[in-house]
Structure 1
Amino acid sequence: MIEISGLVKRHGVQTVLREVSFTAKAGQVTGFLGPNGAGKSSTLRILLGLDAADSGTALVGGKPYRSLRNPLRTVGSLLEGSGAHRSRTARGHLSWVAASNGIPRRRIAEVLDVVGLGDAARTRVGAFSLGMHQRLGLATALLGEPDVLVLDEPVNGLDPHGIRWLREFLRSYAEQGRTVLLSSHLMSELASTADRLVVINRGAIVHSGTVTEVTAGHASLEDAFFALTGEGR
């Protein structure tokens, strides 16, 4: 389980996160949404040990990310594309990631097949489309067979078939008792994929609950989002 408690983050005089608290439970897809600049990326970066909070905690299974041994075996993440160097092949990129976390090499072919890149294993990343980059990033996240997935805008660049595939995959992943935290601007996808939603605006959580609870009294999740955040006015 992911447990975020009382996160505060400041950049100079600007407060980016204001006592942010929520949980993402095992067996569920938790959708994390908010306008640009609301604090989603800052929260995820603190959770994944890429930044430090001024106060509060962000734990995975009761531990900070930085204390995890071979973290890719516990948490798989996708932030800002695949992170692979253009000169590497897909297989080459996954090979060094696997070696860095003691992951068996057999997983490389397995995850490439899972994300639909089996035929592109020897293709250099520089020749990849945006959608292929996203699939490689997801393959990297899945490499260690983690119980927790943290994904930021994973459908970027995917075609309709790829979006449907990812939706079904994440639902299946959660149904195996694993935890999925999914940040996205595509509210129709979150409404279809997530069990619970956490809405952040101006660095603070403004609502959380099931999709039904968050959308109560509104025609759609989009309408609820605009009402909660004041966007679109």
Structure 2
Amino acid sequence: MIAIDGLTKTHRGRAVLSDVTFRAEAGRVTGFLGPNAAGKSSTLRVLLGLDRPTAGAALIGGRPYRSLREPLRTVGSMLDGAGAHRARTARGHLRWVARSHGLPGRRVTEVLERVGLADTGRTRAGRFSLGMRQRLGLATALLGEPAALVLDEPANGLDPEGVRWLRGVVRDHAAAGGTVLLSSHLMSEVAEVADDLVVIAGGRVRAAGPLAQVIAGHESLEEAFFALTESDTEAHAGAGPGIGGRR
């Protein structure tokens, strides 16, 4: 289980996260939604030990990421913008990750086949399409056979077949008892795969619970999302391009 409790973070005197609290349960897919500058990426960065909160805690299996003895076997992550060095092949990148975390070499071939990159051969990551880079990111997340997956915009750059394939990977992981926390702007896809939802805006959780509960009284997830985040979305749009960058 992933547990976010009272997570608060300030940056240069501005509140980025304010008492963010929610759970992502084992055996379920939790969709994590919010407009730009909502606090999604800040929450995930704290969860994965890349940033420190001002207050509160972010735990994976009851422990902070920094105290996990074998992090890649506990949680696999895929953050937007993170990936392999451009000069490495997919296999070379995964071999390096496997060796640095004490993982068996057989896992490299297994995950390459799982994500459809087994035939990339000597092609370097710098020549990959966006969709291929996304698949490699997911392969890296799956490498340690983790109980939890934390995925940030995993469908970005995937074609329709790839999106459908990703949906199966996510659902299969949850069906096997794993935990999935999935952040995305594609609400139609979140509606297809999520059991639970967390909606964040302005650094605060606006709704959290089962999908049906969050969208109750609305025609769709999109309508519920805009109703929950309307004031924050309008404020961000009115601020102009000088504000933003942090999600």
- Length-normalised TM-score, structure 2: 0.92
Distance (whole Å) between structure 2 residues aligned to residue 164 and residue 174 of structure 1: 16
What secondary structure is seen at the aligned counterpart in 1 of 2:119? helix
**1:110 equivalent in structure 2:** 110
Contact kept? 1:167, 1:193, Cα under 8 Å: yes
Question: Is 1:164 aligned with 2:164?
Answer: yes
| Divergent runs of 4+, >3 A | none
What's the CA shift string for 1:175-223, capped at 9, x where partnerless? 0000000000000001110000000010000001111111111111000
Partner Cα separation in structure 2 for residue 216 and residue 106 of structure 1: 46
* Alpha-carbon spacing, 1:11–1:232, altered in 2? closer, same or farther (3 Å): closer
Q: Which residue identity is paired with 2:46?
A: I
Q: Distance in 1 between matches of 2:125 and 2:82?
A: 9
Partner amino acid, structure 1, of 2:39: G
Show the counterpart of 2:122: 122
Residue number in structure 2 paired with 1:205: 205
Q: Give the equivalent residue in structure 1 for 2:132.
A: 132
Equivalenced residue count is 233
Question: Residue type of the partner of 2:132?
Answer: M
Cα deviation, residue 232, structure 1: 6.2
CA distance in 1, matches of 2:203, 2:83: 27
Conserved in 2, the CA contact under 8 Å of 1:82 and 1:133? no
In structure 2, list runs of 5 or more residues that go unmatched.
Answer: 236-247
Cα separation, 2, equivalents of 1:134 and 1:81: 10
Structure 2 counterpart of 1:184, one-letter code: S
Cα offset, 1:122, TM superposition: 2.7
2:14 aligns with 14
Q: In the aligned structure 1, how far is the partner of 2:199 from the partner of 2:140?
A: 27
- For residues 26-45 of structure 1, what are the structure 2 equivalents within 5 Å? 26-45=26-45
Q: Matched residues, percent identical?
A: 67
Deviation at 1:121, TM superposition (A): 4.0
Which residue identity is paired with 2:164? Answer: R
- Tell me how large the CA RMSD over aligned residues is: 1.1
Q: Does the 8 Å contact 1:4/1:59 carry over to 2?
A: yes
Q: CA deviation at 1:82?
A: 4.9
Checking the alignment, whether the CA contact within 8 Å between 1:28 and 1:175 is kept in structure 2 is: yes
